[in-house]
């Protein structure tokens, strides 16, 4: 893991400063963190903070909190399922130090499960390494272990370590300032009053309900909120619970900080290596829509592979969980709210294994409900009280609507005249539709597509604007077919 990536991700240094520090390191030696300090790019306090945040690697099997037999079974499954022979390869796959792998191999040899085949390497300056293979008894052992669980990969962290890390990385640890909020919404027209109410909601870490007419930016606001945080959190590949494996890290959800600098660097952030069973990531954001079902909140047990996949809200821990179009899910709104009433109140959640065992997990994430339905149609007053912040996105006033329209058109090389603007607003009002922020973008994109097809320079014409409005509003049946009412 590269300390430069983490420092850049946290906004403490820039890529250029890391590159300069690497040159300084080549000339003077030492670690890159000290080079950054010597160049004045970083303070010792800032470096210490990053070091203290990172989970330190265990030096012994006991320090992992895992049973040595559990780890040995994991190792033997890797040797069997992936045909791995080298200790270094096992250490890389299991994300634990080589000294532990050697100890586990020795324990397996003592049990007559593994045998040494001979050394490889060493002829070109590389260190020689002993190859290992399963004995017949080891093969049978691996088959039996695979029948219990086919999981092989990074060694898990303990449930207690996972819970402790969630609490250390609480989303309320991070303060979002007004300046950060203004910068995040740069380029969007957002009323100052709305931002003034949104800021405290974000810093509270409590549930937020964003509601209002369709097309006024509710989803856009929620997505920006989810991306505004700058902290780095550590997500485990998986967690061990009573001998069972729960996979947590999901590359489709968790954005790692690895490669932030695009530069090489040292592999650890402290004199002792960090625990690579944890992945440094930006705070996660999970977005769900109509596909959300009540069973989505349960642990997913794979009956063939025989390990668990964490539900989406567990993958979103220390981050943001957005339920878009709330009220249009497969699950009823009251069922979702009933499922989350305890987590929202007590900040803990309860998950149940297929064995019936219940596991308590800290519930630290910002829940955002986004809907174009009125809150009274979704929940009773008791539930409304549990959602601390309720923000309404309203129809923009006409002067603001016109400014948004003109600015959006200008960015695409279009000039909004009075005649074209009046043509648009006349049709909108004729359909008894409110003004909405999405309408200018929709019309501009439609006009540009028409101009591209016709081979003409981007421009508004009464004809292409009329075509765009015809796609924006569907004509009533009576107007289409001449039906008299």
Query: Model confidence over 325-339: pLDDT tens digits?
Result: 888 888 888 888 888
DSSP 279-345: EEEEPPEEEE-TT--GGGGS-EE-TTT--EE--HHHHTTTSEEEETTTT-SSS-HHHHHHHHHHHHH
> With contact defined as beta carbons under 8 Å apart, do 378 and 326 qualify?
yes
User: What's the rounded Cα separation, in Å, for the pair 53 and 241?
Assistant: 24
Mean pLDDT of the chain, nearest integer: 87
pLDDT at position 270 over 60: no
Beta pairing class for 348-352 and 300-301: unpaired
pLDDT score, position 482 = 47
User: What's the rounded Cα separation, in Å, for the pair 87 and 64?
Assistant: 18
pLDDT digit string (tens) for 294-347? 888 899 999 999 999 999 999 999 999 999 988 888 888 888 888 888 888 889
Residues of the chain with pLDDT > 90: what percent? 56
User: What's the rounded Cα separation, in Å, for the pair 68 and 289?
Assistant: 43
pLDDT at position 137 over 50: yes
pLDDT score, position 259 = 60
> Which tokens is 86 given?
């080298």
Beta-carbon contacts of residue 417 (< 8 Å; ≥ 6 apart):
460
Could you tell me where the beta strands, DSSP code E, fall in 318-460? 320-323, 348-352, 358-362, 366-371, 389-392
C-alpha distances out from residue 254 to 9, 134, 156, 283, Å: 14, 36, 17, 8
Residue 293's pLDDT band, with cuts at 50, 70 and 90, is: confident
Q: Bigger pLDDT: 123 or 441?
A: 441
> With contact defined as beta carbons under 8 Å apart, do 70 and 132 qualify?
no
Q: Within 13 Å and on the Cβ side, how many CA atoms surround 196?
A: 3
User: What's the rounded Cα separation, in Å, for the pair 340 and 348?
Assistant: 10
pLDDT digit string (tens) for 36-65? 888 787 888 877 777 777 898 898 999 999
pLDDT digit string (tens) for 442-478? 999 999 999 999 999 999 999 999 999 999 887 654 4
Is CATH 2.30.29 correct for 398-481? no
Task: Enumerate the domain spans of the chain.
Answer: 3-53, 67-155, 161-392, 398-481
Q: Alpha helix (H) ranges present in 42-176?
A: 44-53, 61-64, 68-81, 87-94, 98-110, 136-148, 159-168
User: What's the rounded Cα separation, in Å, for the pair 372 and 291?
Assistant: 17
Provide the 3-class DSSP secondary structure of residue 478.
Answer: helix
161-392: CATH topology is Rossmann fold (3.40.50)
> Which tokens is 125 given?
């300056």
H or E segment to which residue 18 belongs = helix 15-28
Please report the sign of the dihedral spanned by the C-alpha atoms of residue 210, residue 211, residue 217, residue 220: positive
Residue 481's pLDDT band, with cuts at 50, 70 and 90, is: very low
pLDDT score, position 260 = 52
pLDDT digit string (tens) for 411-423? 999 999 999 999 9
The pairs formed by 443-451 with CB atoms below 8 angstroms and a separation of 24 or more are: 443/405, 443/468, 443/469, 443/472, 444/408, 444/409, 444/412, 444/414, 446/471, 446/472, 447/414, 448/412, 448/414
67-155: CATH topology is Arc Repressor Mutant, subunit A (1.10.10)
Closest among 317, 418, 301, 318 to 357, alpha carbons compared: 301
Chain centre to alpha carbon of residue 84: 32
User: What's the rounded Cα separation, in Å, for the pair 349 and 321?
Assistant: 14
The residue-averaged pLDDT of 346-368 equals: 92
pLDDT digit string (tens) for 226-251? 889 988 999 999 999 999 999 999 99
The residue-averaged pLDDT of 266-290 equals: 76
Q: How many CB atoms lie within 10 A of CB 355?
A: 10
User: What's the rounded Cα separation, in Å, for the pair 448 and 8?
Assistant: 39
pLDDT at position 261 over 60: no
pLDDT score, position 214 = 80
> Which tokens is 181 given?
């909020």
Q: Bigger pLDDT: 21 or 443?
A: 443
């Amino acid at each position: 893991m590269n300390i430069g990536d983490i420092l850049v991700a946290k906004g403490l240094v820039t890529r250029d400063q890391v590159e300069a520090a690497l040159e300084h390191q080549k000339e003077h030696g030492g670690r890159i963190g000290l080079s950054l300090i010597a160049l004045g790019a970083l303070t010792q306090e800032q470096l210490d903070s990053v070091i203290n945040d990172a989970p330190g690697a265990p030096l012994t099997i006991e320090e992992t909190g895992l049973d040595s037999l559990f780890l040995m079974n994991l190792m033997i499954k890797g040797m069997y399922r992936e045909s791995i022979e080298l200790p270094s390869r096992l250490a890389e796959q299991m994300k634990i130090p080589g000294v532990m792998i050697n100890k586990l191999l020795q324990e397996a040899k003592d049990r007559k499960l593994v045998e040494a085949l001979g050394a490889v390497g060493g002829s070109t300056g590389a260190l020689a390494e002993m190859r290992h293979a399963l004995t017949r008894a080891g093969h049978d052992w691996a088959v039996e272990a695979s029948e219990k669980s086919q999981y092989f990969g990074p060694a898990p962290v303990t449930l207690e370590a996972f819970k402790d890390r969630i609490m250390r990385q609480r989303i309320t640890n991070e303060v979002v300032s007004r300046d950060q909020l203004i910068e995040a919404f740069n380029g969007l027209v957002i009323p100052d009053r709305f931002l003034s109410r949104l800021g405290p909601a974000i810093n509270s870490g409590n549930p937020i309900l964003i509601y209002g007419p369709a097309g006024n930016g509710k989803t856009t606001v929620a997505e920006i909120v989810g991306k505004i945080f700058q902290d780095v959190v550590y997500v485990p590949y998986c967690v061990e619970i009573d001998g069972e494996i729960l996979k947590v890290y999901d590359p489709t959800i968790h954005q790692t900080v690895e490669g932030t600098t695009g530069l090489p660097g040292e592999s650890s952030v402290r004199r002792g290596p960090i625990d690579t069973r944890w992945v440094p990531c930006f705070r996660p954001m999970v977005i769900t829509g109509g596909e959300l079902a009540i069973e989505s909140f349960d642990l997913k047990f794979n009956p063939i592979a025989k390990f668990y996949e964490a539900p989406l809200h567990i993958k979103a821990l220390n981050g943001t969980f957005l339920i878009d179009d709330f009220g249009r899910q497969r699950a009823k709104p009251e069922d979702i709210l009933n499922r989350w009433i305890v987590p929202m109140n007590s900040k803990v959640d309860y998950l149940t294994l297929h064995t019936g065992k219940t596991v308590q997990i800290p519930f630290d994430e910002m829940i955002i409900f986004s809907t174009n339905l009125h809150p009274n149609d979704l929940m009773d007053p008791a539930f409304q009280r549990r959602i601390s912040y309720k923000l309404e996105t309203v129809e923009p006033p006409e002067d603001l609507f016109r400014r948004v329209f003109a600015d959006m058109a200008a960015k695409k090389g279009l000039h909004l005249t009075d005649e074209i603007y009046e043509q648009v607003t006349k049709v909108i009002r004729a359909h008894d539709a409110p003004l909405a922020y999405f309408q200018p973008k929709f019309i501009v994109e439609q006009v540009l597509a028409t101009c591209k097809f016709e081979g003409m320079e981007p421009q508004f014409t009464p004809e292409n604007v009329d075509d765009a409005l015809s796609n924006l509003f569907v004509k009533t049946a009576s107007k289409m077919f001449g039906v008299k009412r």
